[in-house]
Chain A
Amino acid sequence: MSQPNPTSQPGTSLFSIDGIRTAIAARETTATAIAEQHFSQIAKSDGEVGAFLALSRERALAQAARVDALAAHGDLDLTTMPLAGVPVGVKDVLMTKGLPTTAGSRILEGFAAPYDATVVTRLEAAGAVILGKCNCDEFAMGSSNENSGYKPVRNPRDLTRVPGGSSGGSAAAVAAGMAVATLGSDTGGSIRQPASFCGVVGMMATYGRVSRYGLIAFASSLDHVGPLTNSVKDAAQVLQVIAGRDAMDATSADVPVPDYVADMQKPVRGLRVGIPKEYFGEGLEPETRALVEAAIEKLRALGCQVQPVSLPHTEYAVPTYYIVATAEASSNLARFDAVRYGHRAKGAKSLSEMYRRSRDEGFGPEVKRRIMLGTYALSAGYYDAYYLKAQKVRTLLARDFELAFAEVDAIVTPTCPAPAFKLGEKTDDPLAMYLADIYTVTADLVGIPGISVPCGETSEGLPVGVQILGKHFDEGTVLRLGAAVE
């Protein structure tokens, strides 16, 4: 199964976004042919990987036909349609009009979204062909994709292992050549961690850079939409399309979006790179450490000034995250009440029974656990001790980064403490699972951009990712260092 689709084989012209769109514009191939090749690859591989929850063949082929018609008339303009004919997958937490949209939860089984998320609209306006909806942990809650209400995803690099989560389907689809790019969402590491586990690139932009309108909320102040791709350049190109102010999202920032590809291609010489000791301590698996340190050496060799920095409040990030995220989730998930849409338990005798049984039947155990934790954290008499305190720690974490970024342009760390683990290995131990996010949650809490770029394989052939974090709205530097590591 770890034999990717020939069209997505590195080195072939149809592996990258550039390769595909220029071949279509030059009429060397068609968007329809590319889409069909990827559907074949899905048919061949997805039985064992499980990266997709639904395919949107009709919508994909209609979009491909539009792109092909433009190309046939010589009207295909790659400046206005930079993703022309690029086959993409979309994480199932994003609303796609008329398509099943479940957030990986049984509570939304059979639900067809009534509108498109802003990022989906922007992808299609740029010519991208949406192949289907990518599997994920239920409501994006998980680090292994084993919390999907439908089926687990297996890591294409080793089918006995998890792909990471919660955007496990999005990472696996790219890794297995079933899509050239996918969208994922990152609340505590859910793009970067699966990218690291599957050996692909995963990019999370600054909070507010990419619209959340149409992203089924897990934790509103932490949720980000971002791309998973084969290369840093592809990530830059997808991000370019989805980034920018959206009037439908009050938290989306009105900050001009630079040319990411141009930024990415600048040399890294002279950039100051900070290495926080707190991210290289106990619990970091030795092979992972060695690979990440090798990536740092590579940056040094390219002329970066590598220097230590300190992020002293790092140890509080995971507990802080699990208070803020669960509190917001407990409120965000209240709308799944069986009144207007979603699963409704049969035969309930009263309103409260309808609520209780529908939610009991519809939500999986991890989602229930987090709703209960979050409800507790917000309860009268506990709010100050938990939620309010967590928000204060969040401010301290932001201060850590502010001070560090006064001295360096970016911070480099491992994405995860260890490579992909086995399916079932941590399912009985939520705390161990939560610690898989230890290096990623802080960027979400602080709202800064981060990327995970593959930096090698362990002796067992498992990919390892290096994480690069940047200043607010400075995705350019993050992409630039990512491309250098790559």
Chain B
Amino acid sequence: MATLATPPALTRADFEPVIGLEVHVQLLTATKIFCSCANQFGSAPNSNVCPVCLGMPGSLPVLNRKAVEFAALAAMALNCRVNETSIFARKNYFYPDLPKGYQISQYDKPLAEHGWIDVACSPNNATGGDANGTKRIGITRLHMEEDAGKSLHDGFADSASKTAIDLNRTGTPLVEIVSEPDLRSGDEAYEYLTRLREIILYTGVSDGNMEEGSLRCDANVSVRPRGQEKLGTKAEIKNVNSFRFVREAIAYEIERQIELILGGGTVVQETRLYNSAEGRTYSMRSKEQAHDYRYFPEPDLLPLVVDTKWQAEIRSRLPELPEARRARMVAEYGITEQDAGVLTASRTLADQFESAAKAAKNPKRVANLVQGELMGRLKAAGLEIEQSPVSMAGVAMSADLVEEGKISGKQLKELYDICFAGVAQSENGARGEDFAAVYEREKPQQLSDSVAIEKIVDEVITASPKQVEQYRAGKTTMMAYFVGQVMKATKGQANPAMVNEVVGRKLG
């Protein structure tokens, strides 16, 4: 009689992590979702409030049309199908910063469903990437809801014994974007969040600012033996406040669950919090302590109808999205995909770049200039692209001057330094100067006298016999050395095109 072989013990590599993300995004409407209070971050506590958002007896919600349009625009940008009819529902639970004792949300009929985002990965990777290095992450749903207020536990006189409540945030319009459990690692989650945030920023419906809480993320993490269809028991990691921490928290949680199972334990369904200082997750509440939210349709609001006509109106406001824009910019300006990636990091940056690229003779040079000369200086000065002292007309002008050989790269750098002079230290609004004004004033002298240049080239060649030998032995890259020496000797003022020509001729 044959004995049954004991199945080989599982190892870490036999487990597959499964991750789904829930992202909350605050919408940048002028007023709150159900009342006309200002939707504004940073006001004095409890100043943007009224009977409706305070949950006063008898008050009723009235839906903000703009919030619907923003939510639908985000949904369309995420390739979701917007439902013609969706239903608001009450999510009931007690919390001091939830004035009505329920949150108005959407439950079984959300605003939008069935969307996706393509994220970059290594081609044909083990977690479902295609040959082009793209993986499609499904979006289950996008629904609308109101934000709650804030409980403040410290920072005031009697905070040891009391909690203060600020209800300014109550009623801020939110969309919750729920992904399919398609993610397989913290890195993929990071990539998904980056793309998601980028798309949301392009639509302009949110500032996506994680520090101010306008973008928040919860992660559902489970592991299962490879090949098993059924999902493992999940843990929900709540409110992690940066994409980097989401990646770390997920990586930690995957390890924790695998270790637990390998050690003979079982994962319990629970809510966990990530402690970024310690780099680990902690149990917050178990399934038994979980709320029964007793969802039911909100009787104070009619079903939300976004009909075909309204959807078309909203869709017409959909901007070109980052992925499409990158592809077009590569084709239109002949820049690299990497350049396009950097230059589309925000819609404003891309807009600014394109305005300069269109005005200049060589868009590729503009791309290099913006990345190489402008962005670093802006960062050092703490400025956004739209605050740049060098306007896009200035960028185009400077690119053309270099292109035509009228100034050297070194001179351009010096001129940009003058444009930015004092801006970094400025607290009282020193704006710097635009390129055209600085150029007109400084008019850097370029050495274009061929006799003088030939003389300097001869001196450099005489002083560098070893390098000449190397060059003549076939090391043509030595060319750059000679050009560099000439530029150094002329303090960067020699016309680079002429220097190249003369050096080549003399050595050849």
Binding site for B on A (CB under 8 A): 93-95, 101, 103, 108, 111, 113-115, 117, 212-217, 219-221, 247-251, 327-328, 330-331, 333-337, 339-341, 351, 355, 375, 378-380, 383, 387
Query: Could you say which of A103, A250, A330, A355 contacts B60, with CB atoms under 8 Å apart?
Result: A250
Q: Are B299 and A335 in contact (CB under 8 A)?
A: no
Query: Could you say which of A114, A251, A333, A339 contacts B56, with CB atoms under 8 Å apart?
Result: A114
A-contact 0/1 string along B47-64, CB 8 Å cutoff: 000010011111111110
B242 within 8 A of A: no
Query: Could you say which of A95, A113, A327, A339 contacts B165, with CB atoms under 8 Å apart?
Result: A339
Expressed in whole angstroms, the minimum distance between the Cβ of B138 and any Cβ of chain A is 26
Name 16 interchain pairs, CB-CB below 8 A, sorted by A: A94-B58, A95-B58, A111-B57, A117-B58, A248-B60, A248-B62, A249-B62, A251-B300, A251-B301, A330-B92, A334-B94, A334-B100, A335-B57, A355-B94, A378-B294, A379-B292
A-contact 0/1 string along B363-395, CB 8 Å cutoff: 000000000000000000000000000000000
Q: Are B54 and A340 in contact (CB under 8 A)?
A: yes
Find chain B residues with CB under 8 A from A383 CB. Answer: 294-296
Closest 6 CB pairs of A and B: A334-B101, A378-B294, A220-B299, A221-B299, A214-B58, A216-B57
A115 to B58 alpha-carbon distance, docked (Å): 10
Closest to A219 in B: B299
Query: Could you say which of A95, A220, A328 contacts B57, with CB atoms under 8 Å apart?
Result: A95
New A-B pairs, 15, CB < 8 Å, besides A214-B59, A251-B300, A341-B56:
A108-B57, A114-B56, A212-B60, A216-B57, A250-B60, A250-B302, A327-B296, A328-B299, A333-B101, A334-B102, A337-B94, A337-B96, A337-B101, A339-B99, A383-B294
B90 within 8 A of A: yes
Q: Are B92 and A351 in contact (CB under 8 A)?
A: no
Find residues 334-378 in chain B having any chain A CB closer than 8 Å to their own CB: none
Find chain B residues with CB under 8 A from A337 CB. Answer: 94, 96, 101
Find chain A residues with CB under 8 A from B96 CB. Answer: 337, 339, 351
A-contact 0/1 string along B291-308, CB 8 Å cutoff: 010111001111000000
Expressed in whole angstroms, the minimum distance between the Cβ of A342 and any Cβ of chain B is 9
A336 to B54 alpha-carbon distance, docked (Å): 12
Q: Are B57 and A251 in contact (CB under 8 A)?
A: no
A114 to B57 alpha-carbon distance, docked (Å): 10
Chain A interface mostly helix, strand, loop or mixed? Answer: loop
Expressed in whole angstroms, the minimum distance between the Cβ of A47 and any Cβ of chain B is 29
Find chain B residues with CB under 8 A from A355 CB. Answer: 94
Chain B interface mostly helix, strand, loop or mixed? Answer: loop
Closest to A249 in B: B60
- Contacts A334-B102, A351-B96 hold; do A216 and B62 have CB atoms under 8 A apart? no
Expressed in whole angstroms, the minimum distance between the Cβ of A198 and any Cβ of chain B is 25
Q: Are B62 and A215 in contact (CB under 8 A)?
A: no
- Contacts A101-B57, A355-B94 hold; do A115 and B51 have CB atoms under 8 A apart? yes
* Most chain B CB within a 10 A radius of its CB, from A215, A334, A383: A334
A-contact 0/1 string along B63-82, CB 8 Å cutoff: 10000000000000000000
Q: Are A335 and B58 in contact (CB under 8 A)?
A: no
Find chain B residues with CB under 8 A from A111 CB. Answer: 57
A367 to B502 alpha-carbon distance, docked (Å): 98
A215 to B51 alpha-carbon distance, docked (Å): 13
* Most chain A CB within a 10 A radius of its CB, from B54, B96, B101: B101
Q: Are B300 and A331 in contact (CB under 8 A)?
A: no
Q: Are A114 and B51 in contact (CB under 8 A)?
A: yes
Expressed in whole angstroms, the minimum distance between the Cβ of B366 and any Cβ of chain A is 51
Closest to B293 in A: A380
Expressed in whole angstroms, the minimum distance between the Cβ of B336 and any Cβ of chain A is 52
Closest to A380 in B: B292
Query: Could you say which of B63, B100, B302 contacts A335, with CB atoms under 8 Å apart?
Result: B100
A221 to B58 alpha-carbon distance, docked (Å): 14
Find chain A residues with CB under 8 A from B51 CB. Answer: 114-115
Q: Are A247 and B296 in contact (CB under 8 A)?
A: no
Binding site for A on B (CB under 8 A): 51, 54-63, 90, 92, 94, 96, 99-102, 165, 292, 294-296, 299-302
A233 to B329 alpha-carbon distance, docked (Å): 74
Find chain A residues with CB under 8 A from B295 CB. Answer: 378, 383
Q: Are A335 and B92 in contact (CB under 8 A)?
A: no
Closest to B56 in A: A114
Expressed in whole angstroms, the minimum distance between the Cβ of B270 and any Cβ of chain A is 18
Q: Are B55 and A335 in contact (CB under 8 A)?
A: yes
Closest to A211 in B: B60
Find chain B residues with CB under 8 A from A380 CB. Answer: 292, 294
- Contacts A334-B94, A351-B96, A380-B292 hold; do A213 and B302 have CB atoms under 8 A apart? no
Find chain A residues with CB under 8 A from B92 CB. Answer: 330-331, 334, 378
Query: Could you say which of A213, A221, A331 contacts B59, with CB atoms under 8 Å apart?
Result: A213
Expressed in whole angstroms, the minimum distance between the Cβ of B456 and any Cβ of chain A is 80
A231 to B381 alpha-carbon distance, docked (Å): 78
Closest to B34 in A: A250
A212 to B54 alpha-carbon distance, docked (Å): 17
Find chain A residues with CB under 8 A from B94 CB. Answer: 334, 337, 355
Query: Could you say which of B57, B102, B294, B299 contacts A103, with CB atoms under 8 Å apart?
Result: B57
Q: Are B61 and A250 in contact (CB under 8 A)?
A: yes
A375 to B295 alpha-carbon distance, docked (Å): 11
Q: Are B56 and A250 in contact (CB under 8 A)?
A: no
A484 to B32 alpha-carbon distance, docked (Å): 49
A237 to B100 alpha-carbon distance, docked (Å): 35
- Contacts A331-B294, A337-B94, A337-B101 hold; do A215 and B302 have CB atoms under 8 A apart? no
A375 to B90 alpha-carbon distance, docked (Å): 13
Closest to B294 in A: A378
Q: Are B301 and A331 in contact (CB under 8 A)?
A: no
Expressed in whole angstroms, the minimum distance between the Cβ of B298 and any Cβ of chain A is 8
Closest to B165 in A: A339
Q: Are A250 and B63 in contact (CB under 8 A)?
A: yes
Expressed in whole angstroms, the minimum distance between the Cβ of A267 and any Cβ of chain B is 37
Find chain B residues with CB under 8 A from A387 CB. Answer: 296
Expressed in whole angstroms, the minimum distance between the Cβ of B371 and any Cβ of chain A is 50
Expressed in whole angstroms, the minimum distance between the Cβ of A332 and any Cβ of chain B is 9
Closest to A103 in B: B57
A473 to B504 alpha-carbon distance, docked (Å): 94
- Contacts A250-B301, A251-B302 hold; do A375 and B294 have CB atoms under 8 A apart? yes
A362 to B60 alpha-carbon distance, docked (Å): 23
Expressed in whole angstroms, the minimum distance between the Cβ of B459 and any Cβ of chain A is 84
Closest to A352 in B: B94
A336 to B100 alpha-carbon distance, docked (Å): 8
Find chain B residues with CB under 8 A from A94 CB. Answer: 58
Closest to B302 in A: A250
A247 to B52 alpha-carbon distance, docked (Å): 13
Find chain A residues with CB under 8 A from B54 CB. Answer: 340
Find chain B residues with CB under 8 A from A327 CB. Answer: 296
Expressed in whole angstroms, the minimum distance between the Cβ of A339 and any Cβ of chain B is 5
Q: Are B55 and A340 in contact (CB under 8 A)?
A: yes
- Contacts A216-B57, A375-B294 hold; do A250 and B100 have CB atoms under 8 A apart? no
A108 to B54 alpha-carbon distance, docked (Å): 16
Query: Could you say which of A331, A375, A379 contacts B102, with CB atoms under 8 Å apart?
Result: A331
Closest to B62 in A: A250
Closest to A354 in B: B96
A337 to B57 alpha-carbon distance, docked (Å): 12
A339 to B101 alpha-carbon distance, docked (Å): 11
Find chain A residues with CB under 8 A from B294 CB. Answer: 330-331, 375, 378-380, 383
Expressed in whole angstroms, the minimum distance between the Cβ of B324 and any Cβ of chain A is 38
Expressed in whole angstroms, the minimum distance between the Cβ of B360 and any Cβ of chain A is 53
Expressed in whole angstroms, the minimum distance between the Cβ of B439 and any Cβ of chain A is 58
Expressed in whole angstroms, the minimum distance between the Cβ of B43 and any Cβ of chain A is 18
Closest to B54 in A: A340
Closest to B88 in A: A250
A351 to B98 alpha-carbon distance, docked (Å): 14
Query: Could you say which of A215, A250, A328, A334 contacts B58, with CB atoms under 8 Å apart?
Result: A215
- Contacts A95-B58, A115-B56 hold; do A340 and B296 have CB atoms under 8 A apart? no
Find chain B residues with CB under 8 A from A341 CB. Answer: 56
- Contacts A114-B51, A331-B92, A335-B100 hold; do A216 and B300 have CB atoms under 8 A apart? no
- Contacts A251-B300, A379-B292 hold; do A335 and B62 have CB atoms under 8 A apart? no
